[in-house]
Structure 1
């Protein structure tokens, strides 16, 4: 959830013309990460939960891609990019580990 807040705060600094473009897409995919984990946790089987974790992981990689684009376009500084990239890579590892812990 902290990552969602950080994303929203970061995209507020994007150019106005990106409000319905990159900023919106970035915030949608970061919001999808905890949303899918929450929805998956309500499922009756680990198999179904793992599907939601997979979607969440995909959103995490998508968000990382959005960050790379924002950095390349100079919408975020190298320092901000590195800080957020480190956090998303850690989250990706956590989700992957959680998936593995649920078994096959």
Structure 2
């Protein structure tokens, strides 16, 4: 059995979710059920799918959940760009988020590739 807490990519994605929650607190109230909710749900999906995948017995199933997590990263990447373009995030907040998201995507990609090579 895998412990999701031991994966650096899970730890980094968990920190990303905490940061997304902190930053989206300042979004306009009319976005509460729109962009705010969507960013948070997509962010949670990253670390949640890593966690769920760790509970799967096969490498193939684990890789499949990591792929879902990767897709959620893509979604967060776009949604944070949208938030910046709507002036809900300033450049100083957006840039570190963007760097973190790309880092998580790279780690997920390499882990998926490694798991698929073993199949």
For Structure 1 versus Structure 2, the TM-score category normalised by the shorter chain is over 0.9
State the shift of 1:101 in Å.
Answer: 1.2
1:73 counterpart = 2:93? no
1:37 counterpart = 2:50? yes
1 or 2 for the larger relative contact order (CA 8 Å, sep ≥6)? 2
2:76 paired residue among 27, 44, 63: 63
1:97 counterpart = 2:100? no
* Structure-2 separation of matches of 1:88 and 1:80: 13
* Structure-2 separation of matches of 1:90 and 1:13: 25
Aligned length: 104
State the shift of 1:79 in Å.
Answer: 1.2
Query: What runs of 5+ residues in structure 1 fail to find an aligned partner?
Result: none
* Structure-1 separation of matches of 2:114 and 2:54: 14
What TM-score, normalized by structure 1, do the two folds share? Answer: 0.98
State the shift of 1:35 in Å.
Answer: 0.3
Where does residue 88 of structure 1 map in the other structure?
101
Q: Which runs of 4+ in 1 moved over 4 A?
A: none
State the shift of 1:23 in Å.
Answer: 0.3
